[in-house]
Structure formats: structure tokens, C-alpha cells
Amino acid sequence: MYLRFRLVLAVLFACSGSDAPAAPPPSAPPIPTVPTLPTAPPSTPTPPPTAPTAAQPTATPTSAWLERPNLASFAQGAVLMRSDPDGAWNVLDEFVGSSWERSDAQANPTATAVIELAARARVEGVRLTLDDYWTVRMPNEIVIELGDAASGPFREIAKHTLPAELPETGDAPYVVDVPTGGQAGGGSEGRYVQVRLVGRRGGAEEALGPFLSDVAVHGAFVAPVAPETRAVGSWNGGWLLGTFEIVEENGRLRACFSRDGANASVVVDGRSIQLRWKGEDGGDGMALLVRGPDDHLHGTAQMWSADGQGGEPASIDVDPLERAEPICTRTPEPSAIERELESARRARVYGILFDFAQHVPRAESNGVLDELAQVLARHEDWSIAIEGHTDAVGDDASNLALSERRAAAVREALASRGVATERTTSVGHGESQPVAPNETAVGRARNRRVEIVLR
């Protein structure tokens, strides 16, 4: 079924990672983490000390590093440089329902992928997830290595050997946390992550495996993230998006779909391209995309019905189109913020960006803030409430405080643009009013927002 689209408005509280310095973004509905286990049965010899920076799981691993964002994700601008076999893009979508696996394991029971982070980073820990207890497909060992070039050399920073007897977790995935002990300036800094799946538990007759559902690399960037500048162009988004075009007008990006020529919002947050659209039936969708070395846009997308029910995320591969007919109209359009406030008295405006766990808008937010100030200048009788919202990552109190600070920062930014403070108020709602489930990366990004309400 073809979908028709129109612009949906929101002020996104986008940041480089989760909203508050708390627990890591879940890749699936909350699950019990498998207790950290000995990394090999007693009969397995201890590996030689070839990689002193490597860390095995401990009985009580610190959770402090889990408060950091997952740098190996589409939301953080991670890019797959190469993988054998293909398909390792699936470990970047933060959704355990998709996996990377080898289908010719009889010939080669190993798998290797190299991921480029958006900038040089300090890696403090790794969370590994396998969502299938068909144990013959599980690898014997998962090794995480770090380097400064896609071609290597790499040094081992984390390793997990699956135990001989796997714990009982019911329907929950097998999850293990491996702290790396990364310190500023230490051996756990780099930009390229190599993931190696070594061996598999099945016999020689097994054709499938090894596999991995998700690898979350938690840490902090230690170098600036250069924003993606290659979003503009014509694209083929397949069955989900169809053909669409991204154009730049007056320093702002927008997208137009061939299905009816309507617009969608586009926000570039570091290296992550965030595309949002709304269907005429009241449902809407969102995609998190990165531009890969093949010049395709790779990522994950999800759609919601008008009543807020979301489908499962879908991995997408968007092809560039050469010499395509223009889709976007070139006539300037009225302010989308203004149109939504006039029609619904409430608007969500995408494009106000924040660094991880910070409340000061980044410089890239100036265009949206300028537009909002101009709308209020044209409607001197309008007074607004600025509402801050977060996702559900972290504890309630931290999220509430962060949303309050960010809403107040937007109010201050408008005051600096000439909007009288008596015309504005700010309030934070934290995670209490989600507009999407928080179980997926796309849903969490959709919930990080600020809403403008006419009083």
C-alpha cells in the first residue's frame, strides 16, 4: 500500500546518546541481563597474554560505563566499513530482532566486521547480545578490537568466551557486559572497532552460524564529530520510503516524497541523518540513517499508527539516484511551526540539538530557534509554553531535571532573540509523556523532544 505524507513538527531533544547519564538504551523490551559468567570452562586453557588491554567479564562489573551512549549505532553515526559475511549493518540498529550471521559456516565458522565510529573515542565497555538460544549457532568466542585505521592494526580490548553450560533465561536474550577499563589517553582509545566471531558451537554438519544480534560500544568521543554534509540528493528508499529528495534551502534541509510531493523534516545530528514523515492517515515514521562507504544511506526505520502503536524496526538500504527529476517544489513555503500552531495550537519542531546529558543548544540549532522567534514576532498576541520531554533511558528524576533544563534553555534562547520572557513559560515532563515506545532507537529518538503550546 502506498502511503501519502505530510510534514509533522516537533522540537527534538536530540543528543549524542541517551538523554540522561543513566542506564544504556535498551535494544529490545527490558530484559534481565544474564549474570556475568566465567569466560571459559575450567578445562579451557588460559589464553596467552597477547593483549594486556583486554578485559573479561567479572562477577560484579561496574555499571558506570553503561551510562555512556552506544557509539556503535546509527543514532551516533557509526558506519560499517566492511564485513565478512555481509549484513553486519544489523548490529548497529540497536534492535535484537535482527542479526548478523554466516550462512556458509561449514566452510568458514568465523565472521569479522569493522565499524568506523563518528570520531575517535574512549571505549569503556561493550554489551554483547545474542537473541537465539539455538546454541549450535552461537560462536565459541566474541572478540572486540580497537584501532586507529580501518585496515588496522587492531588491539584486543574485550573478549567473551561462551560458557560450556549456558544459563537459563527463559525467552530473554543472552546478554553479557564486558568492561574494558578504558581511561582517558589509555589503550582503549581509537576510532575503528573490529568485531570477530570465532568458531561456533555446532558440529561440522551445521551450515548456519556463528551469529550476533547486537554489539553496543559504550564510551565517549574524545575528538569532535564532523557533521554529515552528503545528505542532499535524490534517493530510492524502496518499499518503505519510495523515491525522495533532500534539498537545502536557506541553510535548512527538507525532504520531499515522490508519492505526493509532500515534505518531511530532516535533521543532521553529527553523522546521523534523521528523517521524519507523517501519513495522511495520522500515522508517522522516522528513520536514522548514515552514509556508508558505498555512498548508500544505511539505517533503521520504524512507523507508528495514529493511535501510537509501532511496528517493528526495519533495516533499510537507500540507493542514490543520478539524474533524477526534482521532486521538491522550489517555492518558499510558510513556516511549518506557524502552520501547526495555528491549526492545532501545538507544534513539535525538530532540529534543536544538545550534546549528551547537556542542556545548552548546539550551534546547529540556531536556524530553528530563529524561525520560532520570527513566528512569535509576527504574532505578538501569542504566548507559549515550552514543554521538555525525554526518553525512558535513565531514572525518572534525572530525566525530569534534564527536560526542565533544556526547556528553560530554549526559553532563554528565545529571550536572546527578542521574545519577551512574560510571553513564555517552560516546564519539563521527563519521560512521563512518550509519543512512541522506548524499546527501539527510533522510538527513543522520537520521544526526545520539546513541544510548543499556545497558552
Beta strands in 305-401 (DSSP E): 314-321, 346-348, 353-354, 384-389
CATH number of the domain located at residue range(s) 334-454 in this protein: 3.30.1330.60
265's grid cell: 523534516
> Class for domain 228-321, per CATH?
mainly beta
The string of DSSP letters for 247-282 reads EEETTEEEEEETTT--EEEEEEETTEEEEEEEETTS
Nearest 5°: CA angle at 375, between 373 and 380?
95
The string of DSSP letters for 95-164 reads -TTS-EE-S-TTT--EEEEEEEEEEEEEEEEEEEEE----GGGS-SEEEEEEESSTT--EEEEEEEEPPS
- pLDDT tens per residue, the chain (455 residues)? 333 333 333 444 444 444 554 444 444 333 333 333 333 333 333 333 333 333 333 333 446 787 788 999 999 999 999 999 888 999 999 888 888 887 765 667 789 999 999 999 999 999 999 886 566 678 889 999 999 999 999 999 999 998 887 777 777 888 889 888 655 545 589 999 999 999 877 665 566 667 889 999 999 999 999 989 899 999 998 888 888 999 887 777 888 888 765 567 888 888 999 998 876 677 778 899 999 999 999 999 988 887 777 778 888 999 999 877 888 865 656 677 888 899 899 988 778 888 878 899 988 888 889 999 999 999 999 999 999 999 887 788 999 999 999 999 999 999 999 999 999 999 999 999 998 888 888 888 888 888 999 99
64-221: which CATH number, 2.40.30.10, 3.40.50.720, 3.40.50.970, 2.60.120.260?
2.60.120.260
Asked whether the domain spanning 334-454 has the same topology as the one spanning 228-321, the reply is: no
The whole-model pTM stands at 0.79
Domain ranges of the chain: 64-221, 228-321, 334-454
